[in-house]
Amino acid sequence: MSEQVPAGGVELSPAEIDALDARWSSSWTPDAVARHLAGIATPWCVAAGWALDLFLGARTRPHGDIEIAIPAAAFPEVRARFPGYAFDAVRSGRIWADAAPDVLAATHQTWLRDPATGDYLLDVFREPHDGDTWICRRDEAIRLPYRDIIRHTRDGIPYLAPELVLLFKAAHARGKDQADFDNTVPHLSPAQRRTLAELLARVHPGHPWLVDLRPVPGRPFGC
């Protein structure tokens, strides 16, 4: 993704930003997304808060939207699964309706819009990658095979590994992000906790979550 914000687009007014919650109120569930993408060849996974609920096996809080992550080069394949819908690129408080290729190249977030209602149903993160290797947007030196970062529910819905979801949430640490951390960390394996601690120390040195990820003296890591 280019560092420069592309030309054009529409800057959202404060009123339009406030109205986004209503426009996302009909967003899909992971099951609905999985039905739309059934059989697709490219790796994809539910991301953000919904991914943590899929990991935990229960819905722990309301979700105002739903995000999935895909390799950026696979976007045309994903886009073809949604005929009749529009994809709007989003960045820095601006929206590019039916984004052109040059705008897509300079952004990573894409909102699926129902043209009939104007409602948004799905947020698609187009992630950097090198073939089958995922590249972290926070630190390009962090590279992992897709097979190592995607987990599946019993029903086969793919979701991003929780330690990576929390790494991205650490950048904001809003109230819901802190709640997600508190709800999820007790269920992480020792290996997942170590991975999250190592990634946080690298990407967000001194982050307060690191204190809670330290092993308790005399007890195995993660207990």
94-109 tens-digit pLDDT: 999 999 999 999 999 9
pLDDT tens digits, residue range 27-86? 999 999 999 999 999 999 999 999 999 999 999 999 999 999 999 999 999 999 999 999
Provide the mean pLDDT of the chain.
Answer: 92
Which pLDDT value is given to residue 23?
Answer: 96
Burial class (CB in 10 A: 0-12, 13-18, 19+), 53: buried
Q: Please, are residues 111 and 88 in contact by the beta-carbon 8 Å criterion?
A: yes
10-162 fold: Beta Polymerase; domain 2 (3.30.460)
pTM for the predicted model, two decimal places: 0.91
Residue 170: band (very low, low, confident or very high) from pLDDT cuts 50, 70, 90? very high
Q: Calculate the CA 39 to chain-centre distance.
A: 21
CA distance 30 to 69: 12
State pLDDT tens for residues 138-164.
Answer: 999 999 999 999 999 999 999 999 999
Tell me how far apart the alpha carbons of residues 198 and 150 are, in angstroms, rounded to a whole number: 19
**What percent of the chain shows pLDDT beyond 70?**
95
Percent of the chain as helix, strand, coil, to the nearest 5: 35, 20, 40
Is residue 38 within 8 A of residue 45, CB to CB? The reply is no
| Cβ pair 99, 109 in contact under 8 A | no
Q: Which two tokens stand for residue 197?
A: 């601690």
Confidence class for position 2, pLDDT limits 50, 70, 90:
low
